[in-house]
């Protein structure tokens, strides 16, 4: 199967490049249990890939928690900060990023997290992160995913400012995939196994892992091995 040729690539971070989503889910289940509440798949699908403040507001409302958004985020990050500092890379990430960089395909990151959080999470991978031309973080745009803002800004910051149709986005969250499609871009979705089929539909292509990705399907240089 082949798709329209692209020239630039935009990567999400959490859950797509870094195995942080698993940590976030554990923290949310812990907070829920502490208050005799349940963290459900429905809530997960609402918040995955979105901004911190939207996540806080949604979780508080869905689980009827006794926090303000600011209080919730303080509790949340007290539990999550240390584990995410040493989150592992997801399978296939290093190979794909290095391959694209070696073939001079412009690449960047568009992540819903803040700049400080991004620095904390990527501190073990400075060399790999240096291969990206730039990073756009959630607080830098007015509307977070699933709005297209962050992807449009990411594309505009490439030196040659490609058209959206020339960009391919890699995402793990359906909210991110919706945002990429709204931006006029193709998107490869690598979702968690529990994401229902209907939430996967906006994606151009759905994979179980980045290891399955074949660059030539989007007109990119094929792997050498």
Residues catalogued as catalytic: 12, 14
Strands 167-171 and 135-137: unpaired
Q: Write out the two tokens for 178.
A: 């919706």
User: Is residue 86 within 8 Å of 124, Cβ to Cβ?
Assistant: yes
- Residue 100's contacts (CB-CB under 8 Å, 6 or more residues apart) are 9, 107, 215, 220
Residue from 52, 172, 174, 154 nearest 112 by CA? 52
Nearest residue to 173 (alpha-carbon basis) of 45, 6, 28, 67: 45
At residue 8, the 3 state secondary structure works out as: strand
Range list of H helices, 137-211: 149-156, 174-182, 197-200
Instruction: Tell me the H-state helices in the chain.
Output: 21-34, 41-47, 52-63, 69-85, 93-102, 115-121, 126-129, 149-156, 174-182, 197-200
């Amino acid at each position: 199967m082949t798709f329209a040729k692209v020239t630039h690539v935009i990567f999400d971070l959490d859950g797509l490049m870094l195995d942080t989503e698993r940590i976030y889910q554990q923290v949310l289940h812990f907070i829920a249990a502490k208050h005799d509440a349940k963290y459900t798949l429905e809530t997960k699908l609402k918040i995955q890939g979105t901004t911190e403040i939207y996540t806080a507001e949604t979780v508080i409302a869905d689980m009827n928690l006794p926090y303000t958004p600011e209080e919730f985020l303080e509790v949340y990050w007290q539990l999550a900060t240390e584990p995410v500092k040493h989150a592992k890379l997801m399978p296939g990430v290093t190979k794909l990023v290095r391959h694209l960089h070696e073939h001079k395909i412009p690449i960047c990151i568009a992540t819903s997290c803040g700049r400080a959080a991004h620095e904390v999470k990527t501190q073990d991978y400075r060399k790999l992160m240096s291969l990206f031309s730039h990073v756009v973080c959630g607080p830098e745009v007015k509307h977070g995913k699933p709005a297209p803002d962050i992807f449009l800004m990411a594309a505009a910051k490439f030196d040659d400012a490609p058209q959206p149709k020339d960009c391919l986005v890699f995402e793990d969250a359906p909210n991110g995939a919706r945002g990429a499609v709204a931006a006029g871009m193709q998107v490869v979705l690598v979702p968690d196994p529990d994401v229902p089929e209907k939430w996967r539909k906006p994606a151009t292509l759905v994979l179980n892992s980045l290891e399955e990705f074949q660059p030539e399907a989007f007109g990119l240089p094929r792997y050498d091995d």
